[in-house]
Homo-oligomer: A and B are copies of this chain.
Amino acid sequence: MTDKPAALLALAAGADDDGIFLAQVPEPLCVGPPAHQFLFGGIALAAAIEAMERRTGRPALFASAQFLTWARPGDTLSFDAEIVADGRVVRQCRVTGRCGQLAFLHVQGACGGQDAAIARRDAAMPVVPPPDACPGRSMARRLSTNLNALLEFRLASGAIPDRADWSGPGGVDLACWIRARCGAPLDRRLLAVVADCAFLALDDALGPTTRGSSLDNAIRFVAPPVGEWVLAAMHVDGGENGIAHVATRLFSEEGILLAVAAQTMRLRG
């Protein structure tokens, strides 16, 4: 671990131990232009996953987030994790993220499962070089200097535009190795943060200068996270009426499928 900031909110349990968790939004966890910085959506989803897991005492199985509006640097957030259906094996949850009284995030999910590890079936990691053999790429220009300071990106296949005059052929999938610069080992929260980087796949698939705002993000956990690096293999399904759907598969360095994620984005030219 280093002294670099973690790519996660610090959640404090509320006084009443009632499933409400509180957090401040530090500016380093925000993205967007200086006049319009907002908490990165994947970090909000990660906080909701942590709230679900702390509320239920069980690991998350899946979490599906709907992003309603932005949380800003310095805002105080609450994450209210309710158990909406409870069973011996699975505890279903709903989390409402609020900024003051205003809901900015809705999350549906479930925690639990039996104790045995999930074995990956039919693993099909894309054939790419290991992280050490892939070129590092800055995301400072593509997204924000803040996200680039939190996460380290290495290009495994496809392309990431690094010049304003870049043009790609379109129809190409993108795969990146990603890890937290603070040295934190992978956990389910970090997988959610990484899964929300799927907008990076839009250039390769749809052409340069495409920007997307996430409407939602749904992540399903397949195997326990291990190691530091995760391969995010992204694929864009459709994208011409101002909407794109992106699917992301997340693999460990050993090629184990850790999670699958999907989100719908509104495109901006």
How many residues on chain A are close to B (CB under 8 Å)? 53
Chain B hits for A170, CB < 8 A: 121
Residues of chain A in range 216-269 having any CB-CB distance to chain B below 8 Å: 216, 218, 220, 222-223, 235-243, 245, 247, 257, 260, 262, 264, 266
A240 shortest CB reach to chain B, Å:
5
Q: Does A117 reach chain B (CB closer than 8 Å)?
A: yes
Chain B hits for A215, CB < 8 A: 61-62, 90, 92, 110
Contact call B218/A89, Cβ cutoff below 8 A: no
Q: Does A108 reach chain B (CB closer than 8 Å)?
A: yes
Q: Does A114 reach chain B (CB closer than 8 Å)?
A: yes
CB nearest neighbor in B for A59: B241
Contacts A61-B215, A66-B94, A116-B240 given: A264-B110 contact, CB under 8 Å? yes
Q: Mark A89-121, 1 if CB is under 8 A from B, else 0.
A: 110101000000001001011100111111111
Q: What separation, in Å, do the CA atoms of A116 and B267 have in the docked complex?
A: 13
